[in-house]
Structure 1
Amino acid sequence: METKTEKKLEKTFKILSNTNRLKIIRLLAKGKKEITVNEIAEKIKITQPAASQHLKVLRTAELIKADKKGNNIYYYINTQHIIKQKENIDQLFHNIINP
Protein backbone atom coordinates (compact mmCIF):
# COMPACT_ATOMS: atom_id res chain seq x y z
CA MET A 1 0.00 0.00 0.00
CA GLU A 2 1.27 3.44 -0.91
CA THR A 3 1.77 5.96 1.84
CA LYS A 4 0.88 9.63 1.53
CA THR A 5 4.61 10.44 1.31
CA GLU A 6 5.10 7.95 -1.54
CA LYS A 7 2.20 9.48 -3.46
CA LYS A 8 3.64 12.98 -3.03
CA LEU A 9 7.06 11.82 -4.19
CA GLU A 10 5.56 10.11 -7.21
CA LYS A 11 3.68 13.29 -8.12
CA THR A 12 6.84 15.40 -7.72
CA PHE A 13 8.90 13.03 -9.86
CA LYS A 14 6.23 13.03 -12.59
CA ILE A 15 6.04 16.82 -12.62
CA LEU A 16 9.82 17.23 -12.74
CA SER A 17 10.16 14.63 -15.50
CA ASN A 18 9.08 17.35 -17.93
CA THR A 19 12.17 19.10 -19.29
CA ASN A 20 10.64 22.58 -19.31
CA ARG A 21 9.35 22.33 -15.75
CA LEU A 22 12.76 21.11 -14.62
CA LYS A 23 14.35 24.05 -16.43
CA ILE A 24 11.98 26.44 -14.65
CA ILE A 25 12.89 24.99 -11.25
CA ARG A 26 16.60 25.23 -12.05
CA LEU A 27 16.15 28.82 -13.25
CA LEU A 28 14.30 29.80 -10.08
CA ALA A 29 16.85 28.01 -7.91
CA LYS A 30 19.78 30.02 -9.21
CA GLY A 31 20.41 33.70 -9.68
CA LYS A 32 17.28 35.77 -9.34
CA LYS A 33 15.01 34.51 -6.61
CA GLU A 34 11.84 35.92 -8.22
CA ILE A 35 11.07 36.05 -11.91
CA THR A 36 8.10 36.83 -14.16
CA VAL A 37 6.50 34.46 -16.64
CA ASN A 38 7.85 36.51 -19.55
CA GLU A 39 11.41 36.29 -18.20
CA ILE A 40 11.01 32.54 -17.72
CA ALA A 41 9.69 32.06 -21.26
CA GLU A 42 12.53 34.10 -22.72
CA LYS A 43 15.27 32.36 -20.73
CA ILE A 44 14.15 28.79 -21.44
CA LYS A 45 13.02 29.61 -24.98
CA ILE A 46 9.34 28.67 -24.85
CA THR A 47 6.21 30.70 -25.47
CA GLN A 48 4.64 32.71 -22.67
CA PRO A 49 1.43 30.59 -22.74
CA ALA A 50 3.52 27.40 -22.47
CA ALA A 51 5.47 28.88 -19.55
CA SER A 52 2.20 29.84 -17.86
CA GLN A 53 0.89 26.27 -18.16
CA HIS A 54 4.07 24.82 -16.66
CA LEU A 55 3.98 27.37 -13.84
CA LYS A 56 0.39 26.41 -13.08
CA VAL A 57 1.40 22.76 -12.73
CA LEU A 58 4.35 23.67 -10.51
CA ARG A 59 2.17 25.90 -8.32
CA THR A 60 -0.53 23.23 -7.99
CA ALA A 61 2.16 20.81 -6.80
CA GLU A 62 3.33 23.46 -4.32
CA LEU A 63 6.87 23.43 -5.75
CA ILE A 64 6.70 27.17 -6.46
CA LYS A 65 4.80 30.16 -5.14
CA ALA A 66 3.77 33.43 -6.72
CA ASP A 67 3.34 37.00 -5.52
CA LYS A 68 1.64 39.78 -7.40
CA LYS A 69 3.55 43.06 -7.32
CA GLY A 70 1.97 45.84 -9.30
CA ASN A 71 1.11 44.50 -12.75
CA ASN A 72 3.48 41.54 -12.55
CA ILE A 73 3.36 38.14 -10.92
CA TYR A 74 6.71 36.95 -9.60
CA TYR A 75 7.40 33.25 -9.22
CA TYR A 76 9.82 31.72 -6.74
CA ILE A 77 10.75 28.39 -5.16
CA ASN A 78 8.57 27.14 -2.30
CA THR A 79 11.57 26.42 -0.12
CA GLN A 80 9.64 24.72 2.68
CA HIS A 81 8.02 22.24 0.33
CA ILE A 82 11.27 21.55 -1.52
CA ILE A 83 13.08 20.87 1.77
CA LYS A 84 10.34 18.42 2.81
CA GLN A 85 10.51 16.64 -0.54
CA LYS A 86 14.30 16.42 -0.29
CA GLU A 87 13.97 14.84 3.15
CA ASN A 88 11.52 12.30 1.71
CA ILE A 89 13.89 11.53 -1.18
CA ASP A 90 16.82 11.19 1.23
CA GLN A 91 14.78 8.76 3.32
CA LEU A 92 13.82 6.75 0.24
CA PHE A 93 17.44 6.32 -0.80
CA HIS A 94 18.53 5.68 2.76
CA ASN A 95 16.09 2.78 2.87
CA ILE A 96 17.43 1.46 -0.42
CA ILE A 97 21.07 1.72 0.67
CA ASN A 98 20.41 0.50 4.23
CA PRO A 99 17.58 -2.06 3.98
Structure 2
Amino acid sequence: MGPVYDSPLILIFGLAAALQKEIDYGAGVFGREDFEATAEALAGLQGTFILSLNAVQGVYETFSRFAIEEVDCTYSISEGNGKGVKEVIIS
Protein backbone atom coordinates (compact mmCIF):
# COMPACT_ATOMS: atom_id res chain seq x y z
CA MET A 1 0.00 0.00 0.00
CA GLY A 2 1.28 3.38 -0.88
CA PRO A 3 1.68 6.33 1.49
CA VAL A 4 -1.51 7.98 0.17
CA TYR A 5 -3.61 5.20 1.70
CA ASP A 6 -1.72 4.62 4.92
CA SER A 7 -1.34 6.77 8.01
CA PRO A 8 -1.79 6.28 11.76
CA LEU A 9 -5.33 7.69 11.38
CA ILE A 10 -6.50 5.16 8.76
CA LEU A 11 -8.70 2.11 9.46
CA ILE A 12 -8.84 -0.46 6.66
CA PHE A 13 -11.56 -3.12 6.50
CA GLY A 14 -11.06 -6.10 4.26
CA LEU A 15 -13.23 -9.03 3.30
CA ALA A 16 -10.86 -11.27 1.39
CA ALA A 17 -11.41 -14.31 -0.79
CA ALA A 18 -11.91 -17.49 1.23
CA LEU A 19 -8.74 -19.49 1.79
CA GLN A 20 -9.00 -22.98 0.27
CA LYS A 21 -11.89 -21.69 -1.88
CA GLU A 22 -9.79 -19.58 -4.25
CA ILE A 23 -11.11 -21.33 -7.36
CA ASP A 24 -14.61 -20.02 -6.51
CA TYR A 25 -13.42 -16.60 -7.67
CA GLY A 26 -12.05 -17.85 -11.00
CA ALA A 27 -8.88 -19.65 -12.01
CA GLY A 28 -5.80 -17.60 -11.19
CA VAL A 29 -7.71 -14.65 -9.73
CA PHE A 30 -6.64 -15.05 -6.11
CA GLY A 31 -4.15 -17.67 -4.93
CA ARG A 32 -2.48 -18.87 -1.74
CA GLU A 33 0.47 -16.55 -2.32
CA ASP A 34 -1.92 -13.59 -2.22
CA PHE A 35 -2.79 -14.40 1.39
CA GLU A 36 0.92 -14.31 2.28
CA ALA A 37 1.30 -10.98 0.46
CA THR A 38 -1.77 -9.61 2.27
CA ALA A 39 -0.29 -10.58 5.66
CA GLU A 40 3.00 -8.88 4.75
CA ALA A 41 1.22 -5.71 3.61
CA LEU A 42 -0.90 -5.58 6.77
CA ALA A 43 2.17 -6.04 8.98
CA GLY A 44 3.69 -2.90 7.47
CA LEU A 45 0.68 -0.63 7.95
CA GLN A 46 0.93 2.55 9.98
CA GLY A 47 -2.84 2.50 10.45
CA THR A 48 -5.06 -0.26 11.79
CA PHE A 49 -7.07 -2.89 9.99
CA ILE A 50 -9.89 -5.39 10.38
CA LEU A 51 -9.90 -8.41 8.06
CA SER A 52 -12.60 -11.07 7.86
CA LEU A 53 -11.76 -14.55 6.53
CA ASN A 54 -13.03 -18.11 6.75
CA ALA A 55 -11.78 -20.03 9.78
CA VAL A 56 -9.43 -22.65 8.32
CA GLN A 57 -6.02 -23.74 9.57
CA GLY A 58 -4.13 -21.90 6.82
CA VAL A 59 -5.64 -18.59 7.92
CA TYR A 60 -4.46 -19.12 11.51
CA GLU A 61 -0.97 -19.99 10.24
CA THR A 62 -0.67 -17.16 7.72
CA PHE A 63 -2.01 -14.45 10.04
CA SER A 64 -0.62 -15.79 13.35
CA ARG A 65 1.26 -12.54 14.08
CA PHE A 66 -2.08 -10.70 14.46
CA ALA A 67 -4.98 -10.91 16.92
CA ILE A 68 -7.51 -13.47 15.65
CA GLU A 69 -11.04 -13.90 17.00
CA GLU A 70 -13.26 -16.74 15.80
CA VAL A 71 -16.96 -15.95 15.34
CA ASP A 72 -20.07 -17.89 14.29
CA CYS A 73 -21.74 -16.74 11.07
CA THR A 74 -24.55 -17.85 8.81
CA TYR A 75 -24.06 -17.94 5.03
CA SER A 76 -27.23 -17.40 3.04
CA ILE A 77 -28.02 -16.14 -0.45
CA SER A 78 -31.78 -15.98 0.01
CA GLU A 79 -34.45 -16.28 2.64
CA GLY A 80 -34.70 -19.65 4.29
CA ASN A 81 -32.08 -22.02 5.54
CA GLY A 82 -28.60 -20.66 5.97
CA LYS A 83 -25.40 -22.56 6.60
CA GLY A 84 -23.64 -22.12 9.95
CA VAL A 85 -19.93 -21.44 9.51
CA LYS A 86 -16.93 -20.11 11.41
CA GLU A 87 -15.20 -16.91 10.36
CA VAL A 88 -12.27 -15.08 11.91
CA ILE A 89 -11.84 -11.40 12.56
CA ILE A 90 -8.17 -10.48 12.28
CA SER A 91 -6.75 -7.19 13.57
TM-score between the two structures when normalised by the length of structure 1: 0.29
* Higher RCO (CA 8 Å, separation ≥ 6 residues): 2
Task: Judging by fraction of residues, say which structure has more strand.
Answer: 2
More helix by share: 1
User: How high is the TM-score relative to the length of structure 2?
Assistant: 0.31
